[in-house]
Amino acid sequence: MSQPDLATMPAGALHAVDITAATFKADPFPFYARLRREAPVFPVTLRFARQAQRAWLVTRYGDVVRVLKDSATFVKDPSAAMTAEQAKAAPMLRLPGPFQVLQQGLLSLDGDRHARLRTLVHKAFSARQIERMRDTAEAVTEETLDRLLPQGGFDVVGDFALPVALRVIGRVLGVPDEDHRRFSEWTRALVSLGDRHPLWVAPAVLRFLWYMRRLVRSRRRAPRDDLISALVQAQEAGDALSEDEVLAMIFLLLSAGHETTVNLIGNGTLALLNHPDEMARWRADPALGRSAVEELLRFVVPAETATERYATRDTEVAGAGIPRGELVVAVLASANRDATQFADPDRLDLGREANRHLAFGQGMHF
């Protein structure tokens, strides 16, 4: 099924657009361009486990920045925003018992709890650790390309982006090579939690948690030169991460790092193929690398939206009233094509300067 012509669609029919459909995901930019012009804060209905929830799409650059930076009005924890009645009627806000450890990570917390975790995690991401991650990424990429190139062709996502992302994260964490296959299977189940009911992926997730708990405990007893060891050793003023907090951080690295990396490689490659002049420009001038990657982050946006926020009070954005407790979705893909911020925003320009894209968000969760 093809996507309807959003330029000629009656305004009243925009509410019928399914923003979760594959046809929409293939090219959401015309829809967001129209919203920026006509309805910059737009209500849609999202579904989770057969339950419906209203969400407000925020599409203009300035409004997106406001939502991401105003951590008093827009929070991550729905229980801190909703009334008791709203919480009772809302779709599943918390994962079932064994899975709740996965919601103790940085992306799920606000205020002092978030600041404490971020301070401790920052200790683990030293300059030395980051440089080692770079070396690991380069080594895994070279190994994968050496295996694939003699074939004469390969699937960019299935054969390259996905295995490279998983292998890099596994090695950085310190997962033994012999466990990589199981680790990859469990990771794919984990990152599907947002799309499927937890019961469908429960066996794989429980095996993952059991395995990672054993790995974390082994690193506490005998630290190695890997990220899990750095996380369990991180301390600030006598404080340290609990075992559950380390597991939540691992989950964050897997879900956020895996999906966005695959999306950027796959969609970035497609963008270059669709813009052969820009691809030729980069090949002729490899020094464009830094600005080219920043422009691909802006242009294809590895994460279409920021993670969820909830309004702590009745508020107004761009003239639209958002009631307390309701879900607010900052659309990064739309903000990154806003002509008030980017000259000729629908053009791929690998040499673009002053590229203040929002691919990594803004504010305390940047």
Output phi, psi for 77, to 5 deg: -85, 110
Spell out a b/e string for 206-216, using b for 16 or more CB atoms within 10 Å of the CB, else e. Answer: eebbeebeebb
Question: What whole-number distance in Å separates Cα of residue 25 and Cα of residue 182?
Answer: 30
pLDDT tens-digit map of 203-213 = 888 888 899 99
Domain extent listing, the chain: 40-365
Share of the chain above pLDDT 70, in %: 92
Surface-to-core class of residue 235, CB atoms within 10 Å of its CB (0-12 exposed, 13-18 middle, 19+ buried): exposed
pLDDT for 243: 92
Closest-CA residue to 36 (of 8, 66, 62): 62
Tokens of 76: 């991550």
Measured in degrees and rounded to the nearest 5, phi and psi for residue 140 equal -65, -40
Bridge partners (DSSP) listed for residue 309: 328
What DSSP string describes 69-88? H-TTTEES-GGGTS-HHHHH
**Structure tokens that stand for 185 in this block:** 């299977």
pLDDT score recorded for residue 90: 74
Phi-psi region of 325 (alpha: psi -120 to 50; beta: other; left: phi over 0): left
Sequence letter at residue 354 = A
Q: 194 or 54, which is more confident?
A: 54
pLDDT, position 155:
97
pLDDT in tens, 248-276: 898 888 877 788 999 999 999 999 999 99
Predicted confidence (pLDDT) per residue in 74-103, tens digit: 999 898 899 888 888 776 566 666 667 777
Which tens digits make up the pLDDT trace of 317-347? 999 999 999 999 999 999 999 999 999 999 9
Type of residue at 346: D
Handedness of CA 323, 327, 333, 336 (dihedral sign): positive
Neighbours of 92 (CB within 10 A): 12
40-365: CATH topology is Cytochrome p450 (1.10.630)
Q: Are 310 and 78 in contact (CB under 8 A)?
A: yes
Instruction: Round to whole Å and give the CA distance between 185 and 177.
Output: 14
What is the structure's pLDDT at 195? Answer: 60
